[in-house]
């Protein structure tokens, strides 16, 4: 469907500045047509009764009815007062449906299954359609098509449009997509118009969030900018969700102001209000001064987060949540690093395309280092069409998102509870069993079948570029194991099939109709496998698989140990047993890194019972307490 791009003059009637160059408040909306005379969408009472009759226990049927009705509603010519009364009724049931849809693509490994991607597409489209409803109200009022100009209604409509456009960005980030086209342009335009007419700080109460304080257009704009500079492509999905919920608490610690040519301090982000781009860092691009640009200053927020980290000390157990439900220290450190580096900053890369043999997950790496005849597999190419909508037209999802050839029973638990039997978008076999991560501290769901011999092989992937820190690789195919941000990746050595370098997935990106791209940071060229326990009485401690990173130049001394889930306190003595039966004791010095997939500890070798030398079988390890006294 075509969109409108008519000129919109400011509501104040004053002439706009630089009318020959400055873009108009161009909000994309679909073409409008006269409504059917018998449509229930013309009567708030009838529309409320229709919404109350929706079968919420069947989320598939409810989603289909809501999406079709809202799509029709946004293409009808309806007075703005009637439109706002009706669209406000749609918000609550759509919020319910979107939360249920998120189960099918949040806490999943990537690449997503086709129907999980469609669920993500549908959730994004619901938010986009709600934004369209409020954009239509704004357009009607600014074009003089309303019977009476209501300044309060205009502020609410701009606020709601900004809110749902920001949700569109968040849903794109949740599945590591590029920013949808024209969304940033509309967000900038709404803020610029509101600031020009001095309504950007007016508080607006949201009835869906009665416990939260009213927010302004400027506060929503700040949170959208903060979300972008937090570089969600480097965060796990659970961290993205927490950021979406918590970032509004930080808006008051962010300065947003115009810059002149004499005020250009370093360390800021800046926004060009005339572009379809997120904020940029001053180190990457000079800021735009004057009315067109804004400085986005995070230094107060960064100082506040640094104070929190200094008070709380070392990295917490969780990668996401603290005990009070707020961001953990590990997540705050990740956000702080992202804010200071800035989005778009990249090390120097060499465009090299070559093949690597890789394996994902600590347990898989551990097993592959023992396999006698380690096979290599080439992922089958994905043949399913990417349903994510990025065209300029406003389109509906594919028809089979509702009912496929083998998907004719859609159900979900009632609003009052959550059932494990939810089968939306599922076939007779579960689509989620090979993807779902149960909890942040438990074993990822896709490792459930790790005892299968078929998984004891490497996968062939292609590099897109290489830097001093690692690789950018493609992660293609329908059968390749899904991964998450923070997943451990083993890169097979060309000289020794049982030797692997270790890296970690730092970012993801899913370009339109292209294979998933992973940014791999390599932190060790080699490792050694072992079984570990924390000592204690015989039989009380289960042995865990671990990988050891040797100290430079000495294969018997180790500097780091990686385990999948064990939380070890500083000073813990870890007993490791190697494949040849030799044993060694390590002392945990500190936690270096924690992700949802592994924990990485700095360690110190204490005793090596099998090292040659010494008399009567004694080794140098027995003299550890002597060296400091000599």
- Of 45-49, 143-147, 315-319, 344-348, the least confident: 344-348
Task: Residue 533: give the domain boundaries.
Answer: 528-629
Same domain, 516 and 563: no
For residue 5, pLDDT over 50 is answered with no
Same-domain check for residues 198 and 125: yes
In a domain, 308, yes or no: no
For residue 540, the model assigns a pLDDT of 56
206 lies in some domain: yes
- What pLDDT sits at residue 193? 93
Q: Do residues 534 and 586 both lie within one domain?
A: yes
- Please check whether residues 470 and 575 belong to one and the same domain: no
Average pLDDT value for residue range 352-357: 82
For residues 7 and 48, state if they share a domain. Answer: yes
- Are 513 and 605 part of one and the same domain? no
pLDDT digits (tens, 9 = 90+) for 443-479: 333 333 344 444 678 888 999 888 878 889 999 877 7
The answer to the question of residue 555 being in a domain is: yes
| Structure confidence at residue 570 (pLDDT) | 87
The number of distinct structural domains making up the chain is: 3
- The reported pLDDT for the residue numbered 557 is 65
Question: Is pLDDT above 50 for 7?
Answer: no
* Chain mean pLDDT for the chain: 77
- Please give the span between the terminal C-alpha atoms of the chain, in angstroms, as a whole number: 84
| Rounded percentage of the chain residues whose pLDDT exceeds 90 | 35
Distances from the Cα of 230 to the Cαs of 165, 183, 302, 305, 309, in angstroms? 18, 18, 12, 13, 17
Indicate the SS3 state at residue 184: helix
Are 1 and 77 in a shared domain?
yes
Beta-bridge partner residues of 233: none
CA dist 452 and 430 (Å) reads 19
Alpha carbon distance 574, 606 (integer Å):
10
pLDDT of residue 263: 60
Mean pLDDT to the nearest integer, 392-400: 38
What is residue 425's predicted lDDT score, i.e. its pLDDT? 30
Average pLDDT, integer, range 161-180 = 94
CA–CA gap between residue 411 and residue 400 (Å, rounded): 15
pLDDT surpasses 90 at 173: yes
Q: How confident is the model at residue 186 (pLDDT cuts 50, 70, 90)?
A: very high
pLDDT at res. 172? 93
User: Does residue 270 belong to any structural domain of this protein?
Assistant: no
Verify that 51 and 157 share a domain, yes or no: yes
Q: Which of 225, 249, 273 is the last residue of a domain?
A: 249
pLDDT at 347: 53
Q: Residue 621 and residue 583: Cα distance in Å, rounded?
A: 12
Beta strands in 312-425 (DSSP E): 355-360, 375-377
3-class SS of residue 521: strand
**Quick one: average pLDDT of 307-320?**
69
Rounded CA separation 534/32 (Å): 69
Residues 384 and 360 occupy one common structural domain: yes
**Whether the predicted pLDDT of 295 surpasses 50:** yes
Query: 45: Cβ–Cβ under 8 A, 6 or more apart, which residues?
Result: none
Is 90 strand, coil or helix? helix
From 249, 278, 301, give the residue that closes a domain. Answer: 249
pLDDT for 52 beyond 90: yes
pLDDT computed for residue 560 by the predictor: 92
d(CA 226, CA 247): 8
Rounded mean pLDDT, 594-599: 87
What's the pLDDT score for residue 346?
53
Residues 340 and 298: their CA atoms lie apart, in Å, by: 9
Decide which of 192, 221, 249 is a domain's last residue. 249
Q: What is the mean pLDDT of residues 130-144?
A: 92
CB burial readout 75-98, b (16+ within 10 A) else e: bbebebeebbebbbebbebbebbb
pLDDT digits (tens, 9 = 90+) for 226-263: 999 999 999 999 889 989 988 888 988 988 888 766 66
* H-helix segments, 313-431: 329-341, 362-368
**Residue 17 predicted with pLDDT over 60:** no
* 372 and 517 housed in the same domain: yes
Dihedral of alpha carbons 28, 34, 35, 36, sign: negative
Go through 599-611 and write b for each residue having 16 or more CB atoms within 10 A of its CB, e for each that does not. Answer: bbbbbebebbeee
Residue 401 located in a structural domain: no
- State yes or no: pLDDT of 402 exceeds 60: no
What pLDDT, on the 0 to 100 scale, is given for residue 261? 65
Q: What is the CATH number of the domain that holds 490?
A: 2.40.10
Report pTM: 0.77
423 in a structural domain: no
For position 349, what pLDDT does the model report?
61
Same domain for 586 and 499: no
Q: With respect to residue 348, please indicate whether it lies within any of the assigned structural domains.
A: no
Q: Are residues 90 and 198 in the same domain?
A: yes
Residue 211 domain-assigned? yes
Measuring CA to CA, which residue among 446, 450, 429, 428 is closest to residue 437?
Answer: 446
Given a cut of 50, is residue 549 above it in pLDDT?
yes
């Amino acid at each position: 469907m075509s969109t409108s791009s008519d000129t919109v003059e400011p509501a104040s009637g004053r002439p706009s500045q630089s009318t020959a160059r400055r873009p108009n408040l161009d909000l994309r909306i679909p073409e409008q047509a006269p409504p059917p005379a018998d449509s229930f969408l013309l009567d708030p009472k009838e529309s409320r009764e229709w919404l109350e009759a929706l079968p919420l226990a069947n989320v598939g049927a409810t989603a289909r009815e809501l999406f079709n009705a809202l799509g029709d509603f946004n293409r009808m010519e309806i007075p703005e007062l009637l439109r706002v009364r009706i669209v406000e009724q749609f918000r609550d049931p759509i919020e319910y449906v979107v939360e249920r849809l998120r189960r099918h693509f949040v806490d999943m490994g990537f690449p997503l299954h086709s129907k999980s991607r469609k669920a993500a597409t549908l959730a994004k489209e619901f938010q986009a359609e709600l934004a369209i409803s409020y954009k239509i109200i704004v357009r009607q009022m600014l074009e003089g098509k309303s019977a009476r100009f209501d300044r309060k209604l205009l502020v609410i409509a701009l606020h709601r449009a900004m809110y749902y456009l920001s949700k569109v960005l968040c849903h794109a980030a949740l599945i590591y997509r590029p920013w949808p086209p024209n969304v940033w342009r509309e967000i900038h335009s709404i803020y610029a118009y509101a600031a020009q007419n001095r309504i950007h700080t007016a508080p607006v109460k949201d009835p869906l969030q009665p416990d939260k304080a009213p927010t302004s257009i400027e506060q929503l704009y700040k949170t959208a900018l903060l979300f972008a500079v937090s570089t969600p492509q480097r965060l796990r999905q659970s961290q993205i969700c927490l950021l979406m919920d918590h970032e509004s608490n930080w808006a008051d610690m962010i300065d947003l102001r115009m810059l002149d040519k004499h005020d250009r301090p370093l360390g800021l982000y800046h926004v060009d209000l005339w572009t379809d781009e997120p904020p940029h860092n001053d180190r990457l691009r000079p800021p735009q001064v004057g009315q067109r640009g804004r400085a986005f200053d995070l230094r107060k927020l960064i100082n506040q987060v640094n104070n929190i980290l200094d008070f709380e000390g070392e990295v917490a157990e969780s990668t996401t949540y603290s005990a009070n439900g707020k961001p953990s220290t590990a997540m705050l450190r990740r956000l702080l690093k992202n804010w200071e580096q800035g989005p778009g900053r990249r090390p120097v890369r060499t465009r090299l395309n070559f093949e690597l043999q890789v394996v994902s997950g600590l347990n898989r790496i551990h097993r592959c280092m023992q396999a006698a005849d380690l096979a290599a597999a080439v992922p089958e190419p994905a043949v399913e069409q990417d349903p994510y909508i990025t065209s300029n037209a406003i389109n509906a999802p594919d028809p089979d998102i509702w009912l496929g050839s083998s998907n004719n029973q859609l159900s979900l638990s009632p609003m009052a509870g959550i059932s494990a039997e939810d089968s939306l978008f599922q076939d007779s076999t579960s689509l989620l069993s090979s993807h779902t991560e149960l909890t942040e501290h438990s074993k990822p769901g896709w490792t459930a079948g790790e005892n299968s011999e078929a998984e004891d092989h490497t996968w062939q992937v292609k590099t897109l570029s290489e830097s001093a820190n690692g690789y950018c690789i493609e992660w293609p195919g329908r059968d390749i194991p899904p991964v998450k941000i923070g997943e451990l990746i083993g890169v097979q050595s060309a000289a020794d099939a049982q030797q692997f370098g270790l890296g970690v997935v730092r970012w993801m990106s899913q370009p339109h109709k292209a294979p998933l791209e992973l940014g791999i940071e390599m932190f060790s060229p080699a490792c050694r496998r072992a079984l570990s326990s924390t000592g204690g009485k015989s039989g009380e401690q289960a042995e865990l698989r671990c990988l050891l990173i040797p100290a430079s130049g000495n294969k018997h001394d180790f500097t780091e140990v990686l385990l999948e889930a064990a939380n070890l306190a500083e000073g813990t003595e870890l007993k490791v047993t190697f494949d040849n039966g030799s044993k060694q004791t390590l002392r945990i010095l500190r936690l270096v890194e924690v992700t949802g997939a592994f924990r990485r500890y700095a360690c110190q070798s204490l005793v090596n019972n099998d090292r040659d030398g010494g008399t009567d079988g004694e080794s140098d390890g027995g003299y550890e307490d002597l060296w400091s006294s000599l």
